[in-house]
Every structure is written in structure tokens, then in C-alpha cells.
Structure 1
Amino acid sequence: KACVKSECVCFCSCWLLQVTALERQVFDFLGYQWAPVMINFFHIIVVVLGLFGVIQYRSRYVILYLLWTLLWVGWNVFVSCLYLDLGGLSKDSDILTLGVSSHRSWWKDNGPRCESDGLPSAGWRKWEPTPALSCWLEYQYVEVLHCIVQLLVSVSLCHTLVSE
């Protein structure tokens, strides 16, 4: 059976959302950012339910996904504002770690093409990574790009679902 165009778009968009959410989940775990880990987890579940709703023609699941998408868009706008220090928010706050750890974005020390001397700190008992000297793309922009990808795919999927 040939796939209807809108169903194919929904399936591909859901698949892309899952892949990007799982990738984001991994890096949030590495940075011990617990608020995004929990929200990404719920997002992954709701996307699966939304896909199930599209495949099985269950409007309640599709409506649940559409409502969740409003929250997801708000979350991604919030995270973008946080990393860009907009609206009184600061990327140095402990909002994303829920105050239970002192970690931050994994990309801060491991960004794309970051150069550091890689030498251990002065103390011999505790090794700490040295701050990155220069990066091709700074960590806050990597995080904002994650949000932009999520927003674009989510909005395109919602547009497809609503236009059916």
C-alpha cells in the first residue's frame, strides 16, 4: 500500500523529532542537566503517542501531541532565551540542573573543533578539564541550534497534522 503524502510527512517528521530528541537527551545527560532530561523524556513519549495516533487514526493522541507541541515550543524558546541571556535569564544559572549539581552544557567543554591544551589542572589529586581556548561554534549557539531544529520540525509536523 502506497503511503499517503501527509502520513509520510508525519512519519518522517516524527522520526526526525525522535532522533534529534534522543541526541539532545544524551548530551543533556552528559551535562547533568536534569530539567531538560525530564522534559526530553516526556517529549519522546508524546511523539510516540502522536505517531500512534496518526497511524491508528486516534484523534485524542493527535490532540495530545498538538497540545504538547505548544509546551515544547515554549520550552525551546525558554532554553534559547536562557542560553542567549535574554529576558533577564542567564546561561550561568542552575535552572537546567535544578540546583542539584554544578554541571552545565556538555558542549561548553566539548564543542565543535574546540582547542584546549588538555593539560591537567595544577592539583595532582583532582583532574579538571581546562577551559576551551577557542571553538568553531560556542556552546550556547550549539544549544540554540538544537532548539531551532526542534522548533522547525515540530512546527512543520503540526502544520501537516492541522492541514489534514
Structure 2
Amino acid sequence: MPDGVTCIYFLLDPQPFSLFSYSQVAALERQVFDFLGYQWAPILANFLHIMAVILGIFGTVQYRSRYLIMYAGWLVLWVGWNAFIICFYLEVGHLSQDRDFIMTFNTSLHRSWWMENGPGCLVTPVLNSRLALEDHHVITVTGCLLDYPYIEVLSSALQIFLALFGFVYACYVSKVFLEEEDSFDFIGGFDSYGYQAPQKTSHLQLQPLYT
């Protein structure tokens, strides 16, 4: 996860593709940890986001405003999804982390990978527990410097931060591309200054010259 210095460098970096680079790296990092936690809903959302970032890169390179508009539209959904993730892990309203079907489509009991592998976490298995289902075990996690819900919240907050900058960038660049397409002067242009009608020349009848 990028630190504060990296974020400051991102704000000061004038290169347009640095935005796509940070977005892609952050999405791939999140995809890896969601795969380790078998969270299928976030995996699907991350995959779509990675494809959308590639679409945004292609639209920028090829000067396609439509692709950037599609990328901006996806970022609106992406912000909404990450806002839902934040509310889910903070258990806002009636949301609860005990509902496994939201993240895993009710196919497993796995949760965030950071639950057992967070910084400073000490995992102790509980043997012969009656709460353990088949092919599962019960553990106790203690000593975490930062609980896994807050790590997931910070990760989603970073995604929202990058998405907001990406949305502004996509809207601005697509607007520039559209203006250039409207003012494009094709082979001399179609305005009165760039196009001149051919002048009619009078044909003179040649007469023999006698000396």
C-alpha cells in the first residue's frame, strides 16, 4: 500500500500515465490478497476494474474519447463498490461480517486474508472445537497492531482516492479529445479560410498570326 511520500509524488507528477500505473498496481495488489482470502465478489470487481484501467490507457493512447467516457462511468461504480466495502467492514447499518454470502457467494467460510496475517497478529488454533465445520478449524487471533477491518477500509479508501483523480482526468481528457475532433481541419478544412474554390479561367481562341 503506497505511503504518504508516494501519494505526494503522485500529486506532483505531471506524467498522465502515472495515474494509470498507480491504479493498476493498487488493483493488482488488492486482487492478490482477495485471491488468498477466497473472496469471490471482490475478485470479480477487481478484475473488471483492471480491464477498465486498460481501457482507459488504450483510450488515452489512441485518442478515443468514448473509451475514456466508459472508463469514467466505471469509476463511478467503482467508488460505490468501495464505499460499500468500507461500510461492510465497519458494519454500518444492518451490514454484518458474519454474512459470508456477500463476499464469497456462500461458497466458503473464508474472509479477509489480513484476518490471520495482519501486522503483529498471533494465530492460535483451537483444537477439537465444536464450532468447527467439516474441513474448517477455529482459531483465535491476538496481538494485531491493526485489525483486518481497518486494513480493508484503508485499501478501499485508497481506491476511492485514485478513482476520484481518474474520473477528473478522464472527463478532462475526453473533453479535450472531443474539442479537437470538432475543430479538426481535414485536408485543407471546410471553413472559408482554408478552402478556396477554383477560379474559372477564360479560354481564348487562338488566331493565326500573319506577318
CA contact (8 A) 1:49 1:65 kept: yes
Q: Which residues in structure 2 correspond to 1:20-39 (within 5 Å)?
A: 20-39=26-45
Indicate the structure with greater helix content.
1
Residue 122 in structure 1 maps to residue 131 in structure 2: no
CA contact (8 A) 1:35 1:98 kept: yes
Gaps of 5+ in 1: none
Kindly tell me the number of residue pairs found equivalent between the two proteins.
Answer: 155
CA distance in 1, matches of 2:161, 2:136: 40
The alignment partner of 2:141 has SS state of coil
The alignment partner of 1:132 has SS state of strand
CA distance in 2, matches of 1:121, 1:67: 47
Distance verdict in 2 for CA 1:77–1:35, change over 3 Å: same
Distance verdict in 2 for CA 1:71–1:153, change over 3 Å: same
CA contact (8 A) 1:113 1:135 kept: yes
- The residue type paired with residue 149 of structure 1 is L
Superposed CA RMSD: 2.0
Q: Which residue of 2 aligns with 1:107?
A: 114
CA distance in 2, matches of 1:13, 1:106: 27
CA distance in 1, matches of 2:71, 2:14: 15
- The residue type paired with residue 105 of structure 1 is S
CA distance in 2, matches of 1:67, 1:149: 19
Q: Which residue of 2 aligns with 1:67?
A: 73
Q: Which residues in structure 2 correspond to 1:10-159 (within 5 Å)?
A: 11-94=17-100, 95-116=102-123, 118=124, 120-123=125-128, 128=137, 130-159=139-168
Bigger relative contact order, structure 1 or 2 (CA pairs below 8 A, ≥6 apart): 1
Distance verdict in 2 for CA 1:49–1:127, change over 3 Å: closer
Indicate the structure with greater strand content.
2
- The residue type paired with residue 122 of structure 1 is L
- The residue type paired with residue 77 of structure 1 is A
1:115 positional shift: 2.6
Find the partner of 1:8 among 3, 7, 15: 15
